[in-house]
Amino acid sequence: MQLRVTSLPGDGIGPEVISQAICVLEEVAAGFGHDLELDEKEIGGVALAKFGNPLPDSTIQACLASQAVLLGAVGSPAFDHKPRELRPEAGLLRLRQELGAFANLRPAVFYPALAACSPLREEIVKGTDILIVRELLGGLYFGQPRSIAGEPGARQAINTMSYGEPEIERIARVAFQLAQTRRRRLLSVDKSNVLECSRLWREVVTRLARDFPDVQLSHMYVDSAAMALVLKPVGFDVILTENMFGDVLSDQAGGIVGSLGLLASASIGGPVGLYEPVHGSAPDIAGQGIANPLGAILSVALMLRHTFHLLKEAECVEAGVISTLMGGFRTRDLARPGERTVSTEEMGAQITEFVRLAAIANNQAAS
C-alpha cells in the first residue's frame, strides 16, 4: 500500500519526537511491505522565522496532497508578545481548518507498567481506558467576533462561543460510532446550566441518541466531569465535548494516566487526517534529547488505524510501546527518583526494533 505522509516537526521538542515517530513508521513500511512517501514541511515558529507565516502555502499544499499529516508541536516563547495571527499556534489552528479536521480523538489509557507514574493510587487508576472526542473547529477557538479593543487601562476583550446544530451533530455522530466499537457508553460533557451553546449541544446529542439505541448516553456538566475524572477515571468510556472543554479535560486525562507525554491524538473528519501528540513544544526541555516520544509514536499508530486502516500495523506499534514500558525503559517524565532514564532516541529505537522483529515474525507466519 502507498502511504503518502507529510511530516511537520514544528517547534521545541517537536523535531526530536517526530524523528523517532518517523523511524517507527519507516520500519512499519519496510517490515509490512508498504511504500512510504514522506515530505517534510514547516509549521509554527520555525515557519514564522523562515517565511513570516506560521502556515505557509507550501505547507498547506503538501498536506492537502498527502493522505495524512504527522505533526510534532507548535509554540515558542519567542513569539509570546506577537499578535495572534503571528503566533505559532495560529498555524496549527488554521491547519486544522484547512484539513477540515473537526473530530479530535484523544485516547487516555492506563498502562500497568506505569502504575507508579500516576499521581492517583493504583486501585483508582487501574483499568482506565478513556477516549475523548473533542470538537475541534468551533466554539471559542474560532467564534466571531473576537478582539481586544479600547484605550489602555480600559480595554475590553471579546471571544465568542458559537455552535450550529449541524456542527454538533457531525461530531456527536463520530462519538456515537466510536462508542459502538468500544464499551458502548457515551458521556456528553457540557455546561448547559449556564451556556446557550451547551443547551443546544445537549438537545442535539440527545436527539441523535435515537439513531444509536445500542449506546448508553449520559450527560454531565464540565465541572463535575473534571472532578469525576480524578475520583473515578475507570467510570468513563467515550467522552464527547466541545473544543475548549476538550482541550482542558484531555490534559487532565494525561496527568491521570501518568504523563501527558504518553497521549496521542487523531484529528479526522476531513479529506486528510492530522496526527499529533497532545503535549506541546516544551521549550524548557527542547534540544536535550530527553523528551518522551511515545505520544508521537502512538500518533503513528492512530494514523495507521484511522487513515490507512492498517490494523495489524497499528497494533504492532502499540504492542511495541507496551513491551518497551514493561521492559523498564523510561524517559525522564516517566521515571521515579533513582530510576534509570533513557533518551528520546533510545526510547524510539526500542520500539523500532520491536516493530522490526514483529514484522519478521508476521512475514514468517504468512509464508
Return left, alpha or beta for 289; rule: phi > 0 is left, psi -120 to 50 is alpha, else beta. left
Task: Tell me the CB-side half-sphere exposure of residue 16, using CA atoms within 13 A.
Answer: 22
Residue 75 touches ligand IPM, criterion: CB under 6 A:
yes
Query: Residue 76 or 352: which CB sits closer to ligand IPM?
Result: 76
β-partners of residue 221 are 190
Residue 233 touches ligand IPM, criterion: CB under 6 A:
no
Specify the DSSP class assigned to residue 65.
Answer: H
Q: Which one of Mg ion, ligand IPM, none interacts with residue 133, CB within 5 to 8 A by kind? A: none
Query: Residue 98 or 251: which CB sits closer to Mg ion?
Result: 251
In angstroms, give the least distance from the CB of 95 to ligand IPM.
Answer: 10
In angstroms, give the least distance from the CB of 3 to ligand IPM.
Answer: 24
Residue 35 parent element (H or E):
strand 35-40
The owner of cell 463535575 is 224
* Cis ω before 145 (30° cut-off from 0): yes
Which residue is at the shortest CB distance from ligand IPM?
A: 89
Q: Which of residues 122-151 bind ligand IPM (CB under 6 A)?
A: none
Query: Residue 74 or 114: which CB sits closer to Mg ion?
Result: 74
Q: How far apart are CA 45 and CA 101, in angstroms?
A: 22
Q: Which listed residue (11, 89, 237, 247) binds Mg ion by CB under 5 A?
A: 247
Which set of grid coordinates corresponds to residue 253? Answer: 486525562
Query: Residue 208 or 264: which CB sits closer to ligand IPM?
Result: 264
The dihedrals phi and psi of 290, each to the nearest 5 degrees, come to -115, 0
Residue 264 CB contacts under 8 Å (≥ 6 apart), including other chains: 106, 107, 275, 276, 277, 278, 295, 296, 297, 298, 299, 301, 302
**Count, residues near ligand IPM per rule CB under 6 A:** 8
Residue 118 CB contacts under 8 Å (≥ 6 apart), including other chains: 110, 125, 256, 257, 258
In angstroms, give the least distance from the CB of 343 to ligand IPM.
Answer: 25
In angstroms, give the least distance from the CB of 129 to ligand IPM.
Answer: 20
Q: Which of residues 262-301 bind ligand IPM (CB under 6 A)?
A: 278, 280
Q: How far apart are CA 191 and CA 168, in angstroms?
A: 14
Query: Residue 265 or 307: which CB sits closer to ligand IPM?
Result: 265
CA-nearest of 166, 101, 113, 164 to 137 is 101
Residues tagged active-site: 141, 191, 223, 247, 251
Q: Which one of Mg ion, ligand IPM, none interacts with residue 92, CB within 5 to 8 A by kind? A: ligand IPM
Q: Which one of ligand IPM, Mg ion, none interacts with residue 89, CB within 5 to 8 A by kind? A: ligand IPM
Residue 247 touches ligand IPM, criterion: CB under 6 A:
yes
Encoded one letter per residue, x for contact with ligand IPM by CB under 6 A and - for no contact, window 83-112 reads ------x--xx-------------------
Query: Residue 274 or 355: which CB sits closer to ligand IPM?
Result: 274
> CA of 218: how far to CAs of 27, 99, 215, 239, in Å?
42, 31, 10, 10
Instruction: Catalog residues that contact Mg ion under the rule CB under 5 A.
Output: 247
Give contact residues for ligand IPM (rule: CB under 6 A): 74-75, 89, 92-93, 247, 278, 280
